[in-house]
Structure 1
C-alpha cells in the first residue's frame, strides 16, 4: 500500500515538473517568466555563502515593489555567520522544549481557525506529497517533529531573513509587503538563488523579538531562508501543483443594468 502511494505521489510530482518544463520552453526568451516558474520553496540548502553585496542588491530590486502612496512598509533583518548560528541554536532548543514553546506568543493567525474545501484539500496534499518523498509515515510524530524542526535552522541556508512591519500600519500595507516578498524571491531566482518563505517563525515570535531587539511597536511578518539549493536533497524534488488560470479567472461581459 505504501509503495503504491509513493508511486502515485511520484506521478503527481512528475506531472507538475512536466508543466514547469513546458513553461520553461515557452519562457526561453522571457527571463521573468522563467524566474516565476522556477521559484519554489526549497527545504535544503548548500553551505555556499551569499555575498553581502548581492543580498543588498536583491533587496534593492525587491524595494521596487509597489506600495500604497509609496509608504514602503518593509523592514528586513539579515542573519548570517555567527549571528545566524547563535540564533538557530536558541530556536532549535526552544522548539524541542514543549514548555518553552507553550510560553511563546503566536504572532498572528496566519491560517484560518476552521478549514474548508478547497483550501484544506490543497494543504493536505502538499503535506502528504512532501512526507511521502521523505518517507515519513502517517502518525510518525517523531519524524514529523524532526522535519518541522528544519524550519528553525532555515533549512541550513547561509542566510536567514526576518521581515517586520510597524504596527501602526493597516491591511493595505500587508498587501504591499506580499508584493515585496514575491519581488525578492523572483530577484533571487534571477541570480541563481532559491528561497523558502516561512510562516513557522510566527510560533517563536517572542524569541525572534528578543534576539532582534524589537520593541512593542513592531510586528513580525514572516521569515525566509535564502541561499543555493541542494539539488541532491530529495525534499527539493517537490514541485507543487497550481490551479490553471481558467479555473480561477473569468472574463466579465458587458450587461444591461437592472
Structure 2
C-alpha cells in the first residue's frame, strides 16, 4: 500500500471482527513505527501490547470502574481545553452528532450513549490493544514525539490491511492499568490503541470525519503554489 493511501484510508474504527492478529504482525508494525522522529533520539514511548486473557482482565476491570464511579478516575494530563472555542467546538459537535447518528442513538438516549462509551474500554472488540505511555520526567516536546510514533502505528497498521482506533479514553484509568501491567511509577498513560480487522457491516465504521480544506489551515509565503513540477 502506498503511504498516501495508508494515510488517507486511516480512520477510527469502532467495531472490529474477532479475527486474530499475529504477534509477528504487531511486532512488525511497532518496529516500523519506532522510526518516528524524536528530539535527540530520546524515543520516549513505551507500549504494552495486550491480548487474550490479559486483555480481557484489563478491559473488564476498566469497564467495571467506568460503570461504577468514573469521577474517581482522572487522567494525568489535559487532553482537551477547559473552555472550547470555534472552530474546534463546532468540529467536536459534528463529530459526536455524526457518530451517534450513524449508530441510531438519539441525543437524549443517555443509556445508549453510556453503553457506546463503555465500548471504548473493550478496545471496540479488537483482539489486540496497545497501551502507550510516556515518562513523566520528560517535557512537552516528548508529547510531539509520541504523537508521531502513534501516527506511525496507525499508518503501518493500514499497510498490513488492518485498522485502528486511537483512544485517549484509557488515560482516565491509569490506576487500573497499573494493576494489570508492569508500568513504572514514572510512566504516564497517554492512550490506548485498538488494533484489528474492521467489521465492514458496522454502521459506525461508515462514519468518517471530514477534514478542513487546505486553505483553512495552511498559508504559503515566498513560494509559487500554483506551479507543480513534472514529478509532483
TM-score of the alignment, normalized to the shorter chain, above 0.5: yes
Q: CA deviation at 1:253?
A: 3.5
CA distance, structure 2, for counterparts of residue 193 and residue 166 of structure 1? 28
Q: Does 1:60 align with 2:31?
A: yes
Q: Out of 28, 33, 42, which is 2:4 matched to?
A: 33
CA distance, structure 1, for counterparts of residue 75 and residue 24 of structure 2? 34
Q: CA deviation at 1:216?
A: 2.3
Q: CA deviation at 1:86?
A: 1.2
Q: Does 1:102 align with 2:102?
A: no
Residue deviations 1:157-189, cap 9 Å, x none? 000110011111111111111110001110000
Q: CA deviation at 1:195?
A: 0.2
SS at match of 1:216: coil
Q: Out of 23, 27, 51, which is 1:80 matched to?
A: 51
- Of the structure 1 ranges 243-252 and 40-49, higher mean CA displacement relative to structure 2 is found in 243-252
Instruction: Determine the structure 1 residue equivalent to 2:229.
Output: none
Q: Out of 124, 129, 139, which is 1:155 matched to?
A: 124
CA contact (8 A) 1:65 1:179 kept: yes
Moved over 2 A (4+): 213-216
Higher helix share: 1
Instruction: Determine the structure 2 residue equivalent to 1:4.
Output: none
Q: Out of 182, 198, 217, which is 1:248 matched to?
A: 217
Instruction: Determine the structure 2 residue equivalent to 1:20.
Output: none
CA contact (8 A) 1:104 1:207 kept: no
Instruction: Determine the structure 2 residue equivalent to 1:15.
Output: none
CA distance, structure 2, for counterparts of residue 76 and residue 220 of structure 1? 10
Q: CA deviation at 1:90?
A: 1.0
Instruction: Determine the structure 2 residue equivalent to 1:9.
Output: none
Matching of residues 216-235 of structure 1 within 5 Å: 216-235=185-204
Structure 2 unmatched runs, 5+:
224-232
Which structure is larger by alpha-carbon Rg, 1 or 2? 1
CA RMSD of aligned residues (A): 1.2
CA distance, structure 2, for counterparts of residue 105 and residue 33 of structure 1? 37
Structure 1 unmatched runs, 5+:
1-29
Instruction: Determine the structure 2 residue equivalent to 1:174.
Output: 143
Residue deviations 1:37-56, cap 9 Å, x none? 10000000000111101110
Residue deviations 1:111-161, cap 9 Å, x none? 000000100100000100010111111121101100101101000000011
CA distance, structure 1, for counterparts of residue 3 and residue 219 of structure 2? 24
Q: CA deviation at 1:66?
A: 0.7
Q: Give the TM-score, by structure 2 length.
A: 0.93
Residue deviations 1:73-121, cap 9 Å, x none? 11000100111111111111111102xx222232221000000010010
